[in-house]
Chain A
């Protein structure tokens, strides 16, 4: 394989933004017929590199070769013309127009007077869709398709040209297992045709299942390429983060106090059904499951953002009805939400105002907000959580992801909750902040908080939880204690494998 001409080769790519060297001399090559994984932490430079390949950014230094021909790509169209195709993580489709128009967006076949040549368009599209064995046709409106089928439209787009390299950016994020295997078949087909494939994913199992080699980026720099068959997770992780992340399993079992929150038969329509669990003071309860398994929705229901269709909630043994976040906060429940930027922070506000937001109505002197009270709360949580921000006046949008997440956690800690729910505590933040936040969650439990942690990362759940609830398709499949849980049993439980249910 290595003696072939690479389908795509990068040489010393450098791209800087004001104050940041986003890509610092990245070089690697993808052979024809190879599936090449590109890995790295969020912020390592993967997406910048992809934008360079897609012609959206121009590198300051370095060269791109396609079939060993040096190529300069000044825009998305040129990338496409050179046979570099993308399958984006976030769907980039227009919902109101047809599948065919989306697939040939930007180059609809024309007749005279600028008319669309519908016959050609539909017949070409149907030919491609046939290869993908999908259940919809060229005329279907994209908005009527499921997310997975929309993903297939994205993939179909990549097949419209004689691609030399196809880049898949987290393509399985919203796919079911069955759809995943169709996707992997498509990738195998492309591979057989001698196309070079770059596969970006955080999911180790997929990386080991379909890729041939793995290149790793860290802090914008290329750190090396590994043969998938000759490496393991640990080596990849070390390369990605520069050291081993301490994700050892918890040893000392906590000594939990009385039950803080108990949930009985809680359901919300199709989202989750009949959930039973309890969390005690001084313990961390982990929720693990795939995206869409209903974990976040349970948290939102507990926080009064969704109306349960049935079931009962008890706080300290007393049955409660929670109809709004205001209710939940008054009863001592706090939620650090899943999406920091959309749900957690007002990005245009300063650090202090974000932290004090839920209680600003109480921090008053007369009718006015008390500056002193606010700043003292900010100072307290800045020190406690080691938030690195130039001043309380700094706009939150200008902080790093880790510090932003600490602001959100600080905001809810300052409410002194009985039950703290943390949804995806470390999504998209750097490794250093990650372990700080893990330590903090443990520390909070030690101080007697009842903590619920929802996470999609198994090592994280294993690392911080005293007990783990595994969810699959809206159902609680099984509950594990830290001692009895194994990775295999956890994976089985969240995949809905029969017999694993408690």
Chain B
């Protein structure tokens, strides 16, 4: 009896290791500094993680589908610049700028999806190429200038980044709402199941009559939609943006997704776990700051945590701590 209990605890640890680690981490920090769990602090963390988090939701679809998306960082810059520029364009204004920006960003996602889904090109290189191409596009659009909203007091545009409802910041609401919707899409619908199948074994999925190309295509649309949303939050929060605002984010986003336990080989991971991954990154940063450590220490800690997380994951799967490579 005790044996089975141990086994099931082991099973939970193996499956939900990241959640367990997260809880231990939270408890530890709270014991050390009760301010850590203060609602203001918690909302602050979630709020500052929202942009990264929203992007990570989309990338989770792509990664479970067995691909990568390295273009999300420069796509974020693109969407922020475009929405700000159109906002300032009298022909558009905020009400038209936002849907126009979403449409354009989705087009970029469609290009990724077409090249990777339908033409079956390697996603690492395609999205690497797109990273560069979209960056070029953004610079061309902006002429290399930063974008700013001139009359910040006369627009309702700031609501997405600065507003709050019922005491909860809007970015947090967007993050939680989108996570819920996408979590259901991935976990409960036929489409979600198909994403897992395509990422787990694309050939078997094809042999089962699943339109692999279309599924991959849609994962990139989801990713682009999330980037557009994140871009909106970003632009709205700062009411201005540099051309390079999203630079480097692609790899941080990927780190959050991997930390949540999605495998780069595809077919595994969940939205919930990604959210945990995002929160871990956010709370580490916050915890280290509360501990009085330098801001940049978080990067080093993140590095160590990512490697430990993935290492423990594969070590449990192979039943050995050390790699068998001679």
Contacts and interface: CB of A to CB of B under 8 A. Distances in A.
Contacts of B200: 346-349
Given A329-B209, A344-B204, 20 more contacts: A305-B207, A335-B207, A343-B203, A346-B196, A346-B200, A348-B201, A348-B268, A349-B196, A349-B197, A349-B267, A357-B210, A358-B209, A360-B190, A361-B190, A361-B194, A364-B190, A368-B184, A368-B188, A369-B193, A411-B208
B204 A342 contact: yes
Nearest to B194: A360
Given A346-B201, A346-B267, A368-B188, A353 B207 contact: no
Interface in A51-95: 75
Contacts of B268: 348
Given A368-B189, A369-B190, A325 B206 contact: yes
B189 A357 contact: no
B267 A328 contact: no
A345 interface: yes
B205 interface: yes
17 contacts: A75-B326, A325-B209, A335-B207, A342-B204, A343-B204, A343-B207, A345-B201, A346-B197, A346-B200, A353-B197, A357-B197, A361-B190, A361-B194, A367-B189, A368-B184, A368-B188, A369-B193
A326 B194 CA distance: 14
Contacts of A345: 201, 204
Interface size class of A (residues with CB under 8 A): 20 to 34
Contacts of B99: none
A244 to B, nearest CB: 35
A337 B206 CA distance: 11
Contact of A346 (B188, B190, B205, B326): B205
Interface in A353-406: 353, 357-358, 360-361, 363-364, 367-369
Nearest to A330: B209
Interface in A312-340: 324-326, 328-329, 335, 337
B203 A353 contact: no
A18 B201 contact: no
A329, A335, A343: most-surrounded residue (chain B CB, <10 A):
A343
Nearest to B324: A56
Nearest to A325: B209
B294 to A, nearest CB: 41
B144 interface: no
A325 B213 CA distance: 13
Nearest to B319: A18
Given A18-B319, A369-B188, A360 B203 contact: no
A305 B267 CA distance: 23
A1 B209 CA distance: 58
B196, B201, B206, B268: most-surrounded residue (chain A CB, <10 A):
B201
A110 to B, nearest CB: 20
A358 B208 contact: yes
A325 to B, nearest CB: 4
A298 B316 CA distance: 42
B215 to A, nearest CB: 11
Contacts of B207: 303, 305, 325, 335, 337, 343-344
B248 interface: no
Interface in B157-212: 184, 188-190, 193-194, 196-197, 200-201, 203-211
Contacts of B319: 18
B206 A346 contact: no
Contacts of A347: 200-201
A411 B188 CA distance: 20
A353 B211 contact: no
Contacts of A348: 200-201, 267-268
B193 A357 contact: yes
Contacts of A358: 208-210
Contacts of A344: 204, 207
A335 B208 CA distance: 9
A305 B197 CA distance: 18
A346 B267 CA distance: 9
B194, B208, B319: most-surrounded residue (chain A CB, <10 A):
B208
Contacts of B203: 342-343
**Ordered nearest first, which 10 A-B pairs have the shortest CB separation?**
A346-B200, A325-B209, A361-B190, A329-B209, A346-B201, A357-B208, A368-B188, A358-B208, A360-B190, A326-B209
A49 B181 CA distance: 52
B206 to A, nearest CB: 6
A342 B190 contact: no
B64 to A, nearest CB: 11
B179 to A, nearest CB: 17
B192 to A, nearest CB: 8
Contacts of B189: 364, 367-369
Contacts of A349: 196-197, 200, 267
A348 B193 CA distance: 12
B263 to A, nearest CB: 9
Contact of A353 (B193, B206, B326): B193
Interface string A472-497: 00000000000000000000000000
